[in-house]
Structure 1
Amino acid sequence: MKMHRDILVIEDDEDDRDILQEIFKDLGYKNKLVFFSDSTQALDYIRRPEIEPFIIISDINMPKLGGFELRNIILEEELLSDKDIPYIFISNAQDEYSLKQANQLSIQGYIHKGTDYNKYKEKIRNLVDYWKENINTFSSKRT
């Protein structure tokens, strides 16, 4: 089933990647985590026809290609938009511009990283559990 497929994490900060790795380990999900520190590499990866991840979790502020730009490309390219992958932003930004920009890109979630590990872990748990429960409700292509 699609809910057991890979979770792509696009995060340029090594410490933040380590924290997410630890959170997913603590939560015990069976999904394989595929990490990218460079969003251009993630884009090349998801452009491969055989790649159909469960969800994408992406930072916003990254060098080369930011999260907003990456999301926009995914929406504009038919091959990518047809994959119908839930797209979640994770960020320390909580300003009005970032939230408005994210919502205009038809995202399926926005998580503030914050500094409290347990709160961050709970947000990730809620997000993944939500999508595992509802993935088939949102797309008939998801199997």
Structure 2
Amino acid sequence: MNILLVEDDPDDVELLLEALHDNNVEFRMESIKEGDKVLPYLELCKILPDIIILDLNLPKMHGREVLISLKTSRFSIIPVVILTTSSSRDDIDFCLKSGADKYISKPSTLDGFNRTVSMIAEIAAPQAERNLK
């Protein structure tokens, strides 16, 4: 599974990496810390990600703006999972209406991240299959 993680908190990056390893997920992950770097990164990608995991609270460009940019671009087919600390009904509704495939409030434990990884793998699987063909 090829993952693009858009996250500025190194602790959350580390927790996700640990959960991926703990769940024996075969993956390759690139991480971007600033929202305004996502589309330029994708434009230069030789292998597109199977899934984008997107935080909302990002420097340079808010995750909401990144989501809109992704879903109105040629990259709109890539599944996007919002993984953020916000549990605001406004954020959830906005993201799901804007094309996010799943909205997950960040878990605070490794167990929670393990469950999150399972959901992410399920969402990424169909795209990964298409990319292999």
TM-score by structure 2 length? 0.87
What is the count of residue pairs matched by the alignment?
A: 133
Structure 1 unaligned segments of length 5 or more: list them.
none
C-alpha root-mean-square deviation of aligned residues, in Å? 2.1
1:15-48 Cα shifts (integer Å, max 9, x gaps): 1111111111212221201111122222211122
Equivalent residue for 2:39, pick from 37, 43, 61: 43
* Distance of 2:112 and 2:105 partners within structure 1: 10
> 2: distance between equivalents of 1:37 and 1:11?
5
C-alpha distance in structure 2 between counterparts of 1:98 and 1:106, whole Å:
12
- 1:114 counterpart residue number: 107
Higher RCO (CA-CA < 8 Å; seq separation 6+): 2
C-alpha change, 1:142 and 1:88, in structure 2 (3 Å) is farther
> Any unmatched runs of 5+ in structure 2?
none
Q: 1:125 aligns with which of 113, 118, 121?
A: 118
Inter-CA distance 32–76: structure 2 relative to 1 (3 Å threshold) = same
Is the CA contact (8 Å cut-off) linking 2:5 and 2:54 kept in structure 1?
yes
Indicate which of 18, 21, 26 corresponds to 2:22.
26
Q: Partner residue of 1:60? A: 56
Structure 2 residue 79 is the aligned partner of structure 1 residue 86: yes
Percent identity between the two aligned chains = 22
